[in-house]
Amino acid sequence: MTQDIQNFADDEELARPKGVKESLKLKSEEPQEIAEKEKSLKSRNNLKATNMPKQTKTKSTAKRSTKKKNSDVVGDDDRSEAFMAAIAYLPPLFIIPLLSQKDSKFAQFHAKQAMAMFMVLMLFVIIWWVFISNLSIKGGGPLWWLNFAVKLTFVILFGMGFFTAFQGKMTPIPPFSLIAKEIKV
């Protein structure tokens, strides 16, 4: 076993450059090799591009391309705006992007939509508390399941809004986006 280790060490010693000139020579050859490989790849790609037939836009590809342009409002370089818009979907925190990002249409859209969702949720909670909570509701009854289903729906909608805002997409959530359009700040 020690012989194997010694042989490995000898091989490593032989593989290393002997002096500074050899190591510089090896380093200077690397960029040339990389440049040659890049040129060959570019020439291959150009040949492939010229040999392929041109694709005509169908209605579905045209819709996808316009949809992508309209839905992606935030670029990759501005993630703070997407983060601020995502914060709006943590229920009472919609105020932060609503007041701090007044010039951003993207953050304002998500903050107003989250505010509309929060207002509808609070309206449901207040109505439930005033009218229905006085009834004796035991776990598993139909009213309990209704309450659970509505609250679970709101959790899913807030989560969906959070993730779409964080991805940089302006995705309207139908009933709440209509309410959000009417909000003036």
Phi then psi dihedrals of residue 18, to 5 deg: -75, -35
pLDDT of residue 66: 43
Q: Dihedral through CA 94, CA 99, CA 101, CA 102, nearest 10?
A: 120
Residues of the chain with pLDDT under 50: 49, 52, 60-72, 77
How many Cα atoms sit within 13 Å of 62 on the Cβ side? 4
Tokens of 119: 């207002």
pLDDT at 174: 85
Identify residue 87 by its one-letter amino acid code.
I
* H helix runs in the chain, sequence order: 2-15, 20-51, 59-71, 79-87, 95-100, 105-127, 142-166, 174-181
pLDDT at 79: 80
Closest CA to 87 of 157, 160, 166: 166
CB neighbours of residue 60 within 10 Å: 8
Look at residue 81 in the predicted model and tell me its pLDDT.
86
CB contact at 8 A, 154 and 81: no
Which pLDDT belongs to residue 67? Answer: 43
Q: What's the whole-model pTM score?
A: 0.56
**pLDDT at residue 117 in the model:** 92
Q: Which distant-in-sequence residues (6+ apart) come within 8 Å of 36 by Cβ?
A: none
8 Å CB contact between 171 and 157? no
100-139: burial string, b at 16+ Cβ within 10 Å, e else: ebeebebbbbbbbbbbbbbeebeeeeeebeeeeeeeebee
What is the tens place of the pLDDT at every residue in 55-86?
555 554 444 444 444 444 555 547 888 888 99
User: What does the pLDDT read at residue 62?
Assistant: 46
Other Cβ atoms closer than 10 A to 170: 18
What value does the CA radius of gyration of the chain take, rounded to a whole number of Å? 30
pLDDT score at 177? 83
